[in-house]
Amino acid sequence: MFGLPERTPDGHHHGGPGNQPSPGQHRAGPTRGRGADVSGTRFEVGESFVGEGVNAAHINTVFGDRDGPAGTAWATALGSPSTGHVPFVAVLRPSLPVKPLTLFVSKAAPESDGHGVHIWGPAQAGVAGGVADAVADGVVPPDRVDSHVILAAVWVNAGADDAEAVYRNNRKATFEALRNGANQLPLIQDVLAARDSVSNPFYTPGSSPT
């Protein structure tokens, strides 16, 4: 069981999305929730949605020990491709995989050559860059880059039409998802506060014709 992010004496939380620097910006030290010892059977789950329209990015991440369930899931997914869904190791450049080794799992099967290019090109580059940003900023401890792995479930819209936006959004979303997982976000107070105003980019209750 993970603890909540640390509180300051005035009751504010360290590590929340509102007071974090952007990827690549200097941070005084690693930002991780109290008790977030990701070893053995423990793992962190994070989520982030960045951008609007067809070039938005929706990332889910799992960060955990190679010797635990995260490692088992990582190896199983890599060895179990299916039609349209072929997990692969994200690279910064050919033959230079990002660390921790990150398995890119596409949520959407390629619907066209262009869609596939956006998945393998800018989305993959964004995920790899976001992981590297998380290590550089201390969200992912540097001493765990070889003992732990990351699974990144990535959604790229079939209608994506701006490779640079896809890259930027996926890089930021990957960083934020890992940071959120490290800090056990969202807080349960925020979850309960939103339960009567559920909404996502594709549907808001009560907005559709009856």
Which one, of 102, 130, 105, lies nearest residue 120 by Cα?
A: 105
Helix, strand or coil, per DSSP, at residue 148 = strand
Radius of gyration of the chain, Cα coordinates, nearest whole angstrom: 17
Catalytic residue among 12, 26, 58, 115: 58
Q: How far apart are CA 33 and CA 185, in angstroms?
A: 9
Cβ count within 10 A of residue 62:
22
CA distance 59 to 150: 12
Is 148 catalytic? The answer is no
Residues 6+ apart with CB under 8 A from 121: 163
What is the set of active-site residues? 58
